[in-house]
């Protein structure tokens, strides 16, 4: 059933993308992309800043008692994990297993899993922080229709409530609760499994009790989201749209909101480009430029997905065995 849903989402997304290209015309899209020229190198390269911020957020999510891997190791694992999240329909979960495997067998698995669990939550909370603060700035600088402003605020509020619920669940022992649920449906875990789950929940609770480290992790992830404004500013400039930081912030805030709502769409196929067309239209910009902006971001995502897969294959070749986990 799940695979049929995934295939349906792929088909719907592909149909939406094709429909957008037909609607605005391939020639117009190609002309807009030619405006970018070699400037696309800037769009590709600036993403390393967001990766660095997100890696720092992950590093702050490690238990204080554990020896965290080096920043370079975490950065490679971060890029590889994002690549798997992008190319596989796992709702941004499969990449966490890849990150775990990329760090190799020489690190203690329980602290790494604890850091991944907390970092995933911190990244989502960072997204909410970026949307809320960004929207507060945009609302005072741009004349937005009430429907758009209240829609964005409502979405941000829903995100915050969901994240608050997850924080509460993690502090109460999320994995122990899942273990009990598994027992109710017939799974009989070993004593070793029980001990590891208890250790994992204890590490996560310790991370939450250290409010400073968790706040630093959330802040770093929020910075990672905010750095997307640089990309939008560059894209506006390359496409011949008079850029401003407020306009770039508005586009990125609404993009982050749509990404949160449509996280289940594989590779954001169709929704990436369609979202940009919608946002540009609502902001009174040329929707054809919005389609080109979405395609340029698609190029950037594909480039870094290729880099991430390359890092994964390189580690597999160095170790002489695949580090790929079972994602299904």
Question: What is the average pLDDT score of the chain?
Answer: 84
Max avg pLDDT among 20-24, 35-39, 199-203, 321-325: 35-39
What CA–CA distance (Å, rounded) separates 45 from 52?
Answer: 12
Q: What pLDDT score was predicted for residue 188?
A: 64
Residue carrying structure tokens 């480290």: 213
DSSP 8-state secondary structure symbol assigned to residue 196: H
CA 186 to each of CA 138, 181, 314: distance values in angstroms, whole numbers, following the listed order? 52, 9, 40
Structure token pair of residue 270: 């169709």
CA 185 to each of CA 177, 198, 200: distance values in angstroms, whole numbers, following the listed order? 13, 20, 22
What CA–CA distance (Å, rounded) separates 20 from 31?
Answer: 15
Phi-psi region of 211 (alpha: psi -120 to 50; beta: other; left: phi over 0): alpha
- State the chain's maximal CA–CA distance in angstroms: 64
User: By the 8 A CB rule, do 126 and 215 touch?
Assistant: no
Average pLDDT over residues 128-155: 83
Q: Give SS3 for 82.
A: helix
Domain ranges, ordered by start, for the chain = 37-312
Q: What pLDDT score was predicted for residue 294?
A: 95
Average pLDDT over residues 178-192: 69
What CA–CA distance (Å, rounded) separates 67 from 287?
Answer: 49
pLDDT per residue as tens digits for the range 293-326: 999 999 999 999 999 999 999 888 877 654 444 4
User: By the 8 A CB rule, do 241 and 285 touch?
Assistant: yes
DSSP 8-state secondary structure symbol assigned to residue 210: -
User: By the 8 A CB rule, do 319 and 97 touch?
Assistant: no
DSSP 8-state secondary structure symbol assigned to residue 89: -
Nearest to 243 by CA among 253, 254, 255, 230: 230
- Give this prediction's pTM: 0.85
Structure token pair of residue 260: 């949160």
Whole-number percent of the chain with pLDDT over 90: 40
Average pLDDT over residues 168-191: 71
Helix axes 47-60, 211-226, angle to 10 degrees: 170
pLDDT per residue as tens digits for the range 231-274: 999 999 999 999 999 999 999 999 998 888 787 777 788 888 99
Residue 26, number of CB atoms within 10 A of its CB: 9
What CA–CA distance (Å, rounded) separates 92 from 300?
Answer: 18
What CA–CA distance (Å, rounded) separates 237 from 244?
Answer: 9
What CA–CA distance (Å, rounded) separates 120 from 79?
Answer: 14
Residue carrying structure tokens 């919005």: 290
What CA–CA distance (Å, rounded) separates 185 from 139?
Answer: 49
Residue carrying structure tokens 């950065």: 75
Please determine, for residue 328, whether its predicted confidence score (pLDDT) is greater than 50.
Answer: no
């Amino acid at each position: 059933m799940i695979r049929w849903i995934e295939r349906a989402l792929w088909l719907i997304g592909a149909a939406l993308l094709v429909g957008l290209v037909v609607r605005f015309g391939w020639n117009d899209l190609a002309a807009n992309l030619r405006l970018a020229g070699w400037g696309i190198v800037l769009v590709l390269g600036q993403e390393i800043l967001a990766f660095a911020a997100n890696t720092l957020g992950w590093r702050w999510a490690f238990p204080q008692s554990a020896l965290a891997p080096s920043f370079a190791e975490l950065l490679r694992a971060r890029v590889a994990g994002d690549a798997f999240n992008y190319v596989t329909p796992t709702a941004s979960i499969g990449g966490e297993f890849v990150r775990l495997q990329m760090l190799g067998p020489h690190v203690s698995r329980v602290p790494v899993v604890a850091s991944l669990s907390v970092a995933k939550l911190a990244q989502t909370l960072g997204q909410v922080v970026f949307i809320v603060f960004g929207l507060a700035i945009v609302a005072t600088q741009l004349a937005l229709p009430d429907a758009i402003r209240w829609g964005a605020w409502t979405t941000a509020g829903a995100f915050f409530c969901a994240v608050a619920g997850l924080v509460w669940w993690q502090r109460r022992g999320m994995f122990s609760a899942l273990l009990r649920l598994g027992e109710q449906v017939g799974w009989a875990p070993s004593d070793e499994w029980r001990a590891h789950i208890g250790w994992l929940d204890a590490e996560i609770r310790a991370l939450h009790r250290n409010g400073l480290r968790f706040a630093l992790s959330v802040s770093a992830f929020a910075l990672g989201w905010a750095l997307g404004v640089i990309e939008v500013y560059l894209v506006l400039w390359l496409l011949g749209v008079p850029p401003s930081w407020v306009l770039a912030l508005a586009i990125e805030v609404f993009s982050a909101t749509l990404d949160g709502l449509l996280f289940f769409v594989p590779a954001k196929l169709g929704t990436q480009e369609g979202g940009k067309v919608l946002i540009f239209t609502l902001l009174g910009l040329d929707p054809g430029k919005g389609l080109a902006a979405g395609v340029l971001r698609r190029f950037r995502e594909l480039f870094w997905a290729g880099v991430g897969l390359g890092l994964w294959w390189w580690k597999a070749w160095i170790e002489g065995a695949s580090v790929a986990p079972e994602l299904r």
